[in-house]
Structure 1
Amino acid sequence: MMISRRPLILAGLALPAAAQAQDIGSAQRPLSIGVTAGPHAQVMEKVREIAARDGLAIRVVEFQDYIQPNAALAAGDLDANSYQHQPFLDQQVRDRRLALVALGKTLIFPMGLYSRKHRRLAEVPQGGRIAIPNDPTNGGRALVLLANNGAFTLRAGADFRATVADIAANPRRLRVVELEAAQLPRALDEVEAAAINSNFAISAGLNPVRDALALESADSPYANLIVVRQQDAGAPWARRLLAAYQNQEVKDFVATTFQGSVVPAF
């Protein structure tokens, strides 16, 4: 599902391709940037303000899932997106044969473990259900977070590519339930705990610093990215977009708005 935060502008459809490329980022042909709802959208709105002072026009387009922003970018409906980390992008490129590349780093959203029933992970009862994201990279990331906090043991060498089959020892017989990442906050009433990406946790009113039973460290390798099509990686507008994002004003906005729940990766 896609929600536009700006009126859809179709100007330029009748222009030659060269003229359209020249005008990308103008008021008549703003950059269309896909984001997931919540913090990614909030930060991109700040970037939009900064870019506008440089004469670069941006239209922010919100999505409610992790799959459609890449599909829309590959199809040419977006010029860039900002919502995913490198392992997720690599998996998408490989599985869906997408010609997409990272332009630069943006933010780190530490994944956290949350519960409405328990104050510590150790309180989860025998056979309790714990929900994790159902996409491969974030699912593996959640399993590592759970293992690092004593829920169970993974086989030696398991990393973000881990699956439930990599659980080597599970003395409490905890049951792992895989759900779409955006649905995890809503599932908290139905499971003992859930591993939730911070962008979705914040959108649901959770504070990762205050509410998480356990949280990835701020030096997590899962830095989010601005992603573009391969042929656009060297475009002038792409460099201007990255400069508008990797800006001290953005760092200050993130620090003030999210109070440590989101960390700049630049």
Structure 2
Amino acid sequence: MHRKKVRNRIIWSVIGVLILIAGWFSFGPTPKSQTNKTVTIGVVGLSKEDEKIWQSVQKDAKAKYGITIKLKNFTDYTQPNKALANGDIDLNSFQHYAFLNEWNKANHGTLTPIGNTYIAPIRLYSKKYKSLKDLPDGATIAVPNDASNESRALYVLKNAGLIKLKKGVTLATIANITSNPHNLKIKEVSAEQTARVIDDVDASVVNNTYAVPAKLGDKQTIYIEPLNKDSKQWINIIVARKSDKDKKLYREVIKAYQTKKTASLAHKLYGNTEVVAWGLKLK
């Protein structure tokens, strides 16, 4: 009888241990391999070239860090920062420092850049004229109407010698034009419309995001923005919520992007229209 009790105790002890082990694997810490490492990144107007670059980054992020990168493509610049602030996406990659600073100021936001991607020297395009000197007096020039990109476009016109702007202005507007010797008519349109209206104006300042899909290139270029120490604000960035700026998962996304492989592919796809901006020294 005593032996039977001992045996029963042993059996129930073994069963108890098995239950604890099963519970551990069912409810205990998730193995590293099963940890959710999916990152959704908001982009705008994803071109075929951008898609190829992101496909390369996605492959490296998966192979090196076990991260699955998903892209959410928005149609215009007004959406991705709202989506990021609301937690609908994890990161976004579509804007430069100036645009982010202006958005944060206007929306009392705290979105934070966590890595540089590239800088795309903005261009003045025309389908009617071959050079700046061919532009007639009274020519109509389209520029983006959002604060940061309009300022950038006006500085392009200033550097091209077409207008003069009030000194010391960071975000220039049409009201800051102090000299317009050629009586240019500045037409403000949404950024995504600058390429679409090019047939209806004499020239247009178009961001690369919209110039590439519109097949605007060297043939239509009559002026290219110079790169110098003032260009930092136009460097494109990957952005996170402030609370996530040091998150290891997102820092690994930056590492997967900022590689020689990405730089080489970008040069192959974009030539001199984009310059990778990590480690870039501006004089």
Q: Which TM-score bucket, shorter chain as reference?
A: 0.7 to 0.9
Choose the corresponding residue for 2:167, options 140, 146, 156: 156
2:260 paired with 1:216? no
Question: Relative to 1, partners in 2 of residues 1:24 and 1:212: Cα closer, same or farther, differing over 3 Å?
Answer: farther
2:96 paired with 1:89? no
Q: Is the 8 A contact 2:127 2:220 kept in 1?
A: no
Q: In the TM superposition, what are the counterparts of 1:90-239 in structure 2 within 5 Å?
A: 90-159=101-170, 161-207=171-217, 209-219=218-228, 220-221=231-232, 222-239=234-251
* 4+ runs deviating over 6 angstroms: none
Q: Is the 8 A contact 2:90 2:240 kept in 1?
A: yes
Separation in 1, partners of 2:111, 2:146:
18
Q: Deviations over 1:56-75 (max 9, x none)?
A: 10111111211101111111
**Counterpart code for 2:266:** V
C-alpha deviation, 1:200, in angstroms? 1.3
Question: Relative to 1, partners in 2 of residues 1:24 and 1:88: Cα closer, same or farther, differing over 3 Å?
Answer: farther
Q: SS at 2:167's partner residue? A: coil
Separation in 2, partners of 1:153, 1:122:
17
2:268 paired with 1:256? yes
Q: Percent identity?
A: 34
C-alpha deviation, 1:216, in angstroms? 1.3
Q: SS at 1:178's partner residue? A: strand
Separation in 2, partners of 1:41, 1:98:
29
C-alpha deviation, 1:250, in angstroms? 0.4
Separation in 2, partners of 1:141, 1:41:
26
Separation in 2, partners of 1:202, 1:48:
22
Count of aligned positions: 241
Question: Relative to 1, partners in 2 of residues 1:243 and 1:142: Cα closer, same or farther, differing over 3 Å?
Answer: same
2:42 paired with 1:34? yes
C-alpha deviation, 1:126, in angstroms? 2.1
Indicate the residue corresponding to 2:17 in structure 1.
Answer: none
Q: TM-score if structure 1 supplies the norm length?
A: 0.86
Q: SS at 1:250's partner residue? A: helix
Of the two, which has the highest radius of gyration?
A: 2
Q: Deviations over 1:100-140 (max 9, x none)?
A: 10001001111000001111122222222100011101100
Separation in 1, partners of 2:113, 2:125:
30
2:259 paired with 1:247? yes
Q: TM-score if structure 2 supplies the norm length?
A: 0.81
Q: Deviations over 1:205-233 (max 9, x none)?
A: 122x4531111124432110000001111
Indicate the residue corresponding to 1:12 in structure 2.
Answer: none
Q: Deviations over 1:123-177 (max 9, x none)?
A: 2222221000111011001001001112111122344x00000111112211101
